[in-house]
Amino acid sequence: MICALQDDVARVLAGAVVVLPAVTYANVGELAVDVLVATLRPRPLGPLESNNVLPAVGNDAFDDTAGPGTLSTALELYSVEGRPLIFLQQRAPAMAGRQAAYAAELVGWLREAGVATLVVLTGLDAQLRRDQQLDSSPFRYLASSDDLRAQCASLAGVQEFEPSIRDEELELHHSLPPWPLVKESSAQGLPCVVLGCFAAEGDNAAEGLQLSAHALELLRAMGGEAGSAALQARGLALRTPRSWAGLYGRSYPAEIF
C-alpha cells in the first residue's frame, strides 16, 4: 500500500487539490508537473512508497527547492505553503500488470486522507486521433461532475473529450494510463479532472509547458485557496527545472543542414 514517510502528510492532504501525472505517452504529464513545481516552488513533503510502482532514483530534479545532492525518487509530494494545493510527481511507471492495483491503491489513499479533487495531467497518443480531432486543439479535458465540467469549459483552447471516443478508449485501453485512475476515481467517489494533450514521441517540452499553463488556468477557475495559489503565479513566467538541460540531448548547429 501507499506509504508516506512523513507524519504530517495526511494533515496537509485533507481538503486539498492534488495534481499528478499519468505516466504514459510522451511523458507530457510528468513534464507539466515539473514545470508547475519549478514555477510555484512548493515545499517538498518527501517521498511516497508503493509496491506497485517501479523504483527510480535521480539527483537534483529541482535544484532550487533543496540543497545540492538531493535525491529524487519514483513518487514525491510537494505542498504550496499555506494553500491546499499538492503536487505528486511520479517518475516511474506502475509495474507490468499492476496499473489497476496502483490506481486503486493511490485513489483509496487520497480519498481516505480527505483530498477534495484529483487533477490528472496526461499525454494522449496523437496517432489515435479520429478525423474530428485532427483539425482542432490537441488539448482535451474529462471531468467527473457538472461543476468541474463548467470550470474546464472556461479554458481557452481546451475541448471536452468526445463522449463516444471516451467510451471507446475506456473499453479498449482500460488498462493503460490515465484510464485506471479515471475508473477508480469514479468508483471511489473522488472528484477528478483529466487534462490531456495529443502528442507524438520526441521533444515534448513544448507540450509540457502548454499543459502546465492550462493546468494553472484550471486551478484558477476552480477557485478557493488552491485557486488563489495559482493566481499568485499569473505574473510569473513558466519555469523549467535545470535538470531539463540534457533531457533531449545537446543542441546542434543549423549549418549541418
Backbone angles phi and psi of 65, in degrees to 5: -105, -10
Domain ranges, ordered by start, for the chain: 3-233
Measured CA to CA, the distance from residue 109 to residue 49 in angstroms comes to: 12
- Per-residue model confidence (pLDDT) at position 83: 87
- Per-residue model confidence (pLDDT) at position 6: 61
- Per-residue model confidence (pLDDT) at position 53: 96
- Per-residue model confidence (pLDDT) at position 37: 94
Closest residue by Cα to residue 155 from 190, 207, 196: 196
Residue 82 DSSP SS3: coil
CATH architecture of 3-233: 3-Layer(aba) Sandwich (3.40)
- Per-residue model confidence (pLDDT) at position 205: 92
- Per-residue model confidence (pLDDT) at position 237: 84
- Per-residue model confidence (pLDDT) at position 64: 60
Spans of the chain below 50 pLDDT:
none
